[in-house]
Amino acid sequence: MHSETCAGDCDQACSPSTSPATASEASADGDSAASADAQPPLPPRVEAKVDDGIHNGLETDIDCGGPQAPPCAVGKACLRDSDCDGRCNYAGRCIDTPSCVVHFGGDTCGKGEVTDAFASHESCCRTLRVADYEDPRHPGEDVYLDKYEITAGRIRAFVSDIASKAGGIADIRGWIMQHPPPIWESYWNAFLPSSNLADTVRIDRILLGDRRPDVIDAPIPADDQSMNVAIDYQFNAQSFVYIHGGNCATRIDAYGFPTFFYPAATMALYGQDFPPRADGKTTFGAKLPAQESLDTKAMNCITNVMLAAFCHWDGGQLATDEVLDFVTDSPSYLGDAPGCGTQTGDENPPTTAAATQGGRCADLAQINATFDAGALLPKPGSPLNDNHYMFPWFADGTSHDKSWQVSAPGRGSLATNGEPIDTVRIHPEDEPWMDLAGNLNEVVFKTQGTYVTKLFGLKFRGLGYQSARSELNIRTDWPGENGLRRIERPEAKAAFAGGRCMRFRPRATKPKP
């Protein structure tokens, strides 16, 4: 029985049934050349080429990847980033957006939970061209708006990538200083982390308390305070400006709902009343680890400036109020007020058809939204605390974690037939953007004509949409606050707020008729 491996020089091509060793044995019998069993002469070996239309040599896919072939396009097989025009993701496929290299939160957006057999998921980085729109700051370019809100998993990929290039230190401040975004203010850098554990910024005391009369939940400190902006303190209880309805603390009985997962050892840094994040259960009762669940969800409790830094690293910029108003057909006067598209008004809470129905945005009664950020559980029929999403299921008595109410992008608001309903289209035949009307209120860059004001805004509705617009958060005449709304500040963050990126690409030329 002949071996199928080379016994001698493997640069010499070997037939599947006759190795060099067995050929020499036949020759020793004196009849190898005339034997009926002798093999015909082997054809000359063909060298692998990078343009031969064959997956060979050191290529990772057909004529691409590896040390000699050109980088692969999106969707092709890869082993490492250098094999791709963009990045190589966890599944060994080239992608063009770096934040979606991960599985949870990277390609888990769309209908159904990860644990559901019927789930229909796609890249969370999918971006859609905004038809009939031109950004005045990018003439001649096509504008794209991401289909989904940014996930916690994508933020984790951002932090990990920066740390991998800085000796394990999440020096996002240093990266931004080396790669300054077009829309940026240098003082914003102070609120970005440059270390993992200890990185302080001094905060004016008046920004750290509630200035409304007769409010005692968050008294103004007697002195200015040093706050830790290091990465292990960025996405949880640490505040850099006090926001009513912030809900980023997961201490016992706090019912906070941040979606970035920190391990138990990091949670312990905040104090003994911060237990580990709650593992959940699937619809069928199976255990769902906290990080897997949280990474798929829309990212919240992230400062406005970190959202802007992320979008820049991810190849785009934070969306503007102008593009979101265009996509939803919202009037510019809506500003930071709750509403979406033609659903506007001053009702508190909104109840009339004019304020809750119609236009491109899904009806308020159908989206994942709560009037009050402090709502503990869904209350069917209530205009204050109606909630249309609850996953995963937590054990009874879980009082430190309310993250079940934040949806993974693309599945928080469903019609009676189980299909996503929080969709927005410019034209009926368009692929829709998801979760613009609800889930998280959307952080944006504010614009004024052709100018980006470098202030941040808050668009539409979502969890705690009226709490987000409390007097404390939107009043502009508090003494000592420089005429800024608190939600406009770069350091503002809250569990009710998230965001999405927009992108610019060279305009495709239409073929001549």
Cα 83 from Cα 504, distance rounded (Å):
25
Question: Mean pLDDT throughout 339-368?
Answer: 93
List the strands of the sheet with 317-318, edge to edge. Answer: 127-129, 141-146, 501-506, 317-318
Cα 285 from Cα 112, distance rounded (Å):
16
Question: Which DSSP category does 345 fall into?
Answer: -
Tokens at residue 156, please?
């984790």
Give residue 6's pLDDT band: very low, low, confident or very high (50, 70, 90).
very low
Strands 433-434 and 423-424 come out as: antiparallel
CB 274 within 8 A of CB 401: no
Please state the three-class secondary structure of 369-410 as a single string: CCCCCCCCCCCCCCCCCCCCCCCCECCCCCCCCCHHHCCCCC
Cα 360 from Cα 437, distance rounded (Å):
9
Q: Which amino acid, residue 304? A: N
* pLDDT above 90 for 448: yes
Q: At CA 406, angle to CA 400 and CA 408, rounded to 5? A: 130
pLDDT of 38: 58
* pLDDT above 80 for 30: no
pLDDT tens per residue, range 207-238: 999 999 888 778 999 999 999 999 999 999 99
Task: Count H helices and E strands in the chain, helices first.
Answer: 10, 17
- Classified as helix, coil or strand, 311 is helix
Give residue 5's pLDDT band: very low, low, confident or very high (50, 70, 90).
very low
pLDDT tens per residue, range 72-109: 999 999 999 999 999 999 999 999 999 999 999 999 99
Looking at 96-110, 260-274, 390-404, which range is the least confident one?
Answer: 390-404
What is the pLDDT of the chain when averaged over all its residues? Answer: 89
Looking at 5-9, 165-169, 292-296, 391-395, which range is the least confident one?
Answer: 5-9
According to DSSP H, which parts of 263-345 are helical?
A: 264-267, 290-296, 304-313, 321-328
Cα Rg, the chain, nearest whole Å: 28
CB 412 within 8 A of CB 405: no
Domain borders along the chain are 1-45, 145-506
Nearest Cα residue to 376 out of 252, 254, 237, 246? 254
pLDDT of 474: 97
> Please, is 34 exposed, middle or buried when counting C-beta atoms within 10 Å of its C-beta (0-12, 13-18, 19+)?
exposed
pLDDT of 427: 97
